[in-house]
Amino acid sequence: MGIDGKVIAITGASGGIGRATALLLAGRGAIVVLGARREAALAKVADEIAAAGGRAAFRAIDVTQRADLDALVALALERFGRLDVMVNNAGIGPISRFEALRVADWDAMIDVNLRGTLYGIAAALPVFGRQQSGHVVNVVSTAGLKITPTMGIYAATKNAVRTATEALRQESKYLRVTEVSPGFVATDFAGSITDPDVRAQIESRKAAFAIPPEAVARAIAYAIEQPDDVEIGSVVIRPTAQD
């Protein structure tokens, strides 16, 4: 099918990688169903898509609430009759060193990055099972490929998703499953960091060599646009200058 005409749900779609992915896919003919916590920002993305001649629906969701992911998939079915791709993109990164004991931040990353992705998978699988087709795209991180200080819990949540993604791929013979691992991307990732020193370090590195979110959107589009019998299992995309 390529991309044209596919119904694609995207979490974390109000900004960053999610927004860039929504705009790119809609521009290539996809019907996008957008979810995020910031309803006003979602509406702006949907309006931009509509102004360019595309089709979009949106719903304010919190990925830590399973019912919200079910509602996002239900919106796709109610408005467009099917769901072809689930892009689990929502994530946060309030990173810090272990000794800082920012346990509330650890809990938040587990809830959003891991549980939120699993809830997205759980919402989409019954639909994909009835259709005997579908595609799950999980946005993980290069932080799980090269472990560094301050990234421990964040990388752990992303690697948990990486493991679940591979198991899901092996379990299904009709479902395409893709993990996309971005490196430093010019998003508001640092906005969730509660440690001021770590936040300053991340902002400095971002300013030095981060790639635009559109680069990651193109990688996601590449995986989606393949023929139905071709699965792109893993894509790593990062700045050339990144260690």
Give the pair of three-digit tokens for residue 124. Answer: 């989409």
Burial 50-83 (b: 16+ CB within 10 A, else e): eeeebbbbbbbbbbbeeebbbbbbbbbeeebeeb
Q: What is the DSSP letter of 114?
A: I
Secondary structure of residue 79 in the 3-state scheme: helix
d(CA 44, CA 125): 29
Check if 222 is active-site.
Answer: no
- Contact of 81 with 55, CB cutoff 8 Å: no
List the catalytic residue out of 119, 154, 174, 222. 154
Give the pair of three-digit tokens for residue 158. Answer: 């992303």
d(CA 243, CA 237): 13
Catalytic residues: 154
